[in-house]
With several copies, the nearest count.
Chain A
Amino acid sequence: MTDTANRSTSGPGGLHTGGSGGHAALPAAAEPGPEPLIFEYSRPGRGGAWLPEPDVPVRPVEDLVPRELLRREPPALPEVAEVDLVRHYTRLSQMNHAVDTGFYPLGSCTMKYNPKVNERVAELPGFSRLHPYVPDELAQGALRLMYDLERALCEIGGMARATLQPAAGAHGELTGILLIRAYHESRGEGHRHKVIVPDSAHGTNPATAAMAGYKVVEVASDERGGVDLAELERVLDEDVAALMLTNPNTLGLFDENIHRIAEMVHEAGGLLYYDGANANAILGISRPGDMGFDVVHFNLHKTFSTPHGGGGPGSGPVGVTEKLVPFLPAPLVERDPETGRYYLDENRPQAIGRMRSFYGNFAILVRAYAYIRALGPEGLRQVSEDAVLNANYVMRQLAEYFRLPYDRVCKHEFVLSASNLRERTGVRALDVAKRLLDFGIHPPTIYFPLIVEEALMIEPTETESKETLDRFVAVMKRIAEEAEREPDLVKEAPHTTPVRRLDEALAARRPVLRWRPEGAA
């Protein structure tokens, strides 16, 4: 099923940088080709030279490890000089668009600025050199940070207690749904086997419910983008364990019926789960707990400014109301009121168990804690106000060029549809996205939520200036015009990126999932 990766050959004239580009010779302009893989720099016997000689008496390895357990063939890791290593990953980094290089209005992802001070404090040796199994007495600073972060998140979410264990949003969701299950079981309602999710929900919501052993029931959205109350009424019964919701929802719209929805679910004996991916709209403005949610997860890598790392690490703490506290996974950090000492409390007999090793993505918690402390209560509220202001400012202007399926005030993000363009010019949301790349702007999330065709989901975040937003609007407008005048320019975009549009179908049809040396099977 896997296949050999093409490796460009390079004769002396075939010029290394063009490696993976497969250029036999450089074009006249000699634009350097895309950077090859690290393996192509490898030469037997090179590199790997930073290790000391043993300072203890050395015994034959075979005396220590049974021969049959020893590795017969070394792994084909690359053997490269340090300078080539540094150049390779430096060049790779330059092939990325990132918040640090430009605007990134990727809806649902909250690609705000990641403060550098957070990196600085997370790297302090007092945090980074701490083994998770050190005695509590020797890690009071770390425990206090976790304790205070938990309290801050609970205050923001309107919850009683929280676990910091989950490593990402989806992991938080799973934690939350298992908490809900434990709650029902503790009340002898283990029969509840359904979880309701709106049709606008993120894929992790149904996937999570399924992973927790639940049957997923979809509920449709109404014409204002919220949960259709009649539909909800219809699917609510005594088998329902929970409704998973994000509010504002994935359309960027605040569900005005949230109070009624909560009542309905609770009346049916179910609980309400809050997917905090969109919490950037509500900091200090409205709390999920006050909306009626029983369980909340936050994405620290969205709302609380920790860097997304090209796909993680994240952190997805889960807060709960009083009645769910007993089920939170062990350990929690507690504070002895007498001595003021912090400690890890493993003694939680009703806990759902453990969601991961150790206590959570601690270095991410440090960053989020630093962020909350840097902003304070007024700052956090300002974050949400400006995030919402930015979104509405852009939405109002773009509504002239793209279809706005739900024409109401949005929160921190909004969803446009390129269906108008598509009908007239054949230019799709995907094409608009790719054309944005030529202008150094990361595209919005596209084709999500699923209930809007040709969706363009735009989340500017509060950290972008008016000038950046103005430029984005100008570029979007220009692309809309190009679509009319010169549709192929848009359909063939991008034109200026390190590689052009990639054949994703081929990748899936004939998967090449690892590098192999030339000539290998």
Chain B
Amino acid sequence: MGISYIPHTDADRRAMMAAIGISSIDELFADIPEEVRLRRPLRLPPALSEPELVAHLEELAAANPASGMVCFLGGGVYDHFIPSVVPYLAGRGEFATAYTPYQPEVSQGTLRAIFEFQTMIAELTGLDVANASMYDGATALTEAALMAVNVARRERVVVLGTVHPEYRQVLATYAEGQRLPVTTVAVDGRLGTTDMADLERALEGEDVACVLVQQPNFYGCLEPVHEIAARVKARGALLVVSTDPISLGLLEAPGRYGADIVVGDGQALGLPMAFGGPHFGFFACRAEHVRRMPGRIVGQTVDREGRTGYVLTLQTREQHIRRDRATSNICTNHSLMALAGTVYLAALGPRGLRRVAELCLQKAHYLAERIAGLPGFDLVFEAPFFKEFVIRCDRPGFDPAAVAREAGYLVGPDLGRWEAGRRGQLLVAVTEQRTRRELDGLVAAWGVAR
């Protein structure tokens, strides 16, 4: 039998070769010099039929028992509930198998959805405009820094030490390419938020383009954003805020406290954790900076009969027009994930989003309090938090993550992964999905186990 994805029969191939006027397919590859040809079959496992393929992948999937455990893991990806309409609608073939909407007349579905997405992100963040998506939260934050450097015509980037370490690593990688100096602000070890004195020091000089803030921060704590904003503004730098979109159901829109650019990762908005991707990054800014914004933007216009329609617009910012002077090299973004996020937000509405945020908040605080009451356990930081917090345990020889795992619960990550001095400190994230039974179960596992 042939290969399912390829329609040609040998008869088809013969007819086509005859039409071209060749007698062997090799003639079509005559332009490939001998010395660069592969003269052997690829060393790959043999083809699998569909049933074999499904069985093989099911076996691999089954070899990830973590996927069946109760998830208190945090650090940028969260086990939120995914309403059934989200994958159902975003999975429709007409959305999934379309390209970037270069031909607007036959892409109004995608274009309208992106326009809706831009509107929702602008609403959530309290800014004027949003783009059609970025790869993820980390690259969105990094591109925000690069944009701020452009807007401010200054070079130095200040990043709070409470920003997700992986986001800071990505920033460092990109900054290294452009030789941008990056200053990291120290953490107040008691509060778990920014050391304001150190921020003040970092802002000295008139060379700071922007300050990158994460709210809620990597430790789950709430930064004093009004105070931070005041200091950043006083120095003429741009304020860039990276945020958990779920938190915006409850927390002030960053645009309202002075953020110039707001970014974040959209995984929490109806996307599976999927071992880290694909998710999407969102990116919003003030109207006056839109022509420096990276990424695709959809705008409204009219067709020749005066009907409303939507197109990709302001493309002169982009690589396919501006080439080496583009605002970014981004081309393909994460449109389908952004569509899922759009459906999620439309499914929840403002009240639903607030409810999710409140459930996270209440459940996280219930659990934190109960854990703090366990002998030997302790909350590491004192600042208020949203849905995530850091714990430590000083019972000798007791490994809380391992004990939890035995009982079917996943907690973490261990902050030692990034900060040696915090080895043994664990992030605990609580989403609206976690039931009281699970919360109490985790506490019980730590209460009784030895």
The reply, when asked whether chain A contacts chain B directly with Cβ atoms under 8 A, is yes
Cα(A73)–Cα(B225), bound, Å: 17
Q: Which residue of A lies closest to B93 (CB)?
A: A100
Interface string of B102-119 (1 = CB under 8 A from A): 111111111011111011
Question: Is A56 a contact partner of B75 (Cβ separation < 8 A)?
Answer: no
Cβ-defined contact, A309 with B120, below 8 A: no
In the assembled complex, which residues on chain B have CB atoms less than 8 Å from the CB atom of A101?
A: 93-94
A77-B345, A138-B65, A173-B329 known; A354 vs B273 contact (CB < 8 Å): no
Per-position binary interface string of chain B over residues 132-161, scored 1 when its CB falls under 8 Å from any chain A CB and 0 otherwise: 110111110000001000000000000000
Stretch at the interface among B183-191, B197-205, B206-214, B351-359: B351-359
Instruction: Identify which of B25-33, B372-380, B390-398 touches chain A.
Output: B25-33
3 A-B pairs with least C-beta separation: A126-B61, A358-B276, A309-B336
Residues of B within 8 A of A85 (CB): 85, 89, 343, 346-347
**Residue of A at shortest CB range from B96?**
A307
In A200-217, the 8 Å CB interface with B consists of 202-204, 206-213, 216
Proximity bits, A3-31, B CB within 8 Å = 1, else 0: 00110100000000000111000000000
User: Does B424 belong to the interface (CB within 8 Å)?
Assistant: no
Is residue B248 within 8 Å, beta carbon to beta carbon, of the partner chain?
yes
Contact A141 B62 (CB under 8 A): yes
Q: Which residues of B contact A104 (CB under 8 A)?
A: 99
Number of A-B residue pairs, CB cutoff 8 Å, is: 793
B252–A72 touching, CB < 8 Å: yes
Could you say which of B248, B278, B339 contacts A363, with CB atoms under 8 Å apart? B278
B103 to A433, Cβ gap below 8 A? yes
Q: Which of A131, A174, A314, A507 contacts B66 (CB 8 A)?
A: A131
How many residues on B have C-beta within 8 angstroms of the other chain's C-beta atoms?
220
The residue on A at minimum CB distance from B87 is A123
Task: Kindly state whether residue B421 has any CB partner on chain A within 8 Å.
Answer: no
Across-interface contacts of B296 in A (CB, < 8 A):
311
Query: Would B109 and A92 count as touching, CB distance under 8 A?
Result: yes
**How far is the CB of A219 from the nearest CB of chain B, in Å?**
14
The yes or no answer to A451 lying at the interface (CB within 8 A) is no
| Contact across chains for B273 and A131 when beta carbons are under 8 A apart | yes
A101-B94, A121-B54 known; A388-B252 Cβ under 8 A: no
In the complex, residue of chain B having the shortest beta-carbon distance to the beta carbon of A313: B278
- Assess A56 versus B330: contact at CB under 8 Å? Given A167-B139, A213-B178, A409-B30: no
B413 to chain A, nearest CB (A): 4
Distance A74 CA – B258 CA, assembled complex (angstroms): 17
A interface residues, how many (CB within 8 angstroms)? 224
Does any Cβ of A come within 8 Å of B444's Cβ? no
A386 at the interface (CB under 8 A from B): yes
- Cα A221 to Cα B412 in complex, Å, equals 54
Chain A 442-465 against B: per-residue CB contact (8 Å), 1 yes, 0 no? 110100100000000000001111
Contact A97 B107 (CB under 8 A): yes
Whether the Cβ atoms of A155 and B332 lie closer than 8 Å is: no
Contact of A79 with B351 in the complex, beta carbons under 8 Å:
yes
| Chain A nearest CB, measured from B156 CB (Å) | 16
- Say whether B60 contacts A141, CB under 8 Å: yes
Alpha-carbon gap, A357 to B168, bound state (A): 10
Q: How far is B287's CA from A39's CA once the two chains are assembled, in angstroms?
A: 21
Q: Please report the C-alpha to C-alpha distance between residue A35 and residue B314 in the assembled complex, in whole angstroms.
A: 24
B319 to A203, Cβ gap below 8 A?
yes
Contacts of A75 in B (CB 8 A): 120, 123-124, 248-249, 253, 350, 353
Is the CB–CB distance between B128 and A2 below 8 Å?
yes
CB distance from B327 to the nearest CB of A (A): 9
Determine whether the beta carbon of A310 is less than 8 Å from that of B28.
no
Partner of A127, one of B44, B67, B311: B67
Known A131-B410, A311-B335; 4 more pairs at CB < 8 Å: A34-B309, A82-B85, A129-B71, A364-B278
Query: Bound state CA distance, A285 and B53, in angstroms?
Result: 25
Separation in Å of the B115 CB from the closest CB of chain A?
A: 7
Chain B stretch 293-307: residues in CB contact (< 8 A) with chain A: 296-307
Known contacts A64-B384, A498-B108; A71/B138 CB under 8 A: no
User: Does A230 sit at the interface, judged by CB under 8 A?
Assistant: no
In the complex, A202 Cα to B332 Cα: how many Å?
Answer: 13
Q: Is B448 interfacial (CB 8 A cutoff)?
A: no
Q: How far is the CA of A290 from the CA of B11 in the complex (A)?
A: 33
**Could you say which residues of chain A place their CB within 8 Å of the CB of B83?**
50, 117
Residues on the A chain within 8 Å of B52, using CB: 52
Sampled A-B contacts (7; CB under 8 Å): A74-B350, A89-B92, A93-B109, A311-B332, A356-B170, A373-B53, A513-B115
**Set of chain B residues within 8 Å of A322, measured between Cβ atoms:** none
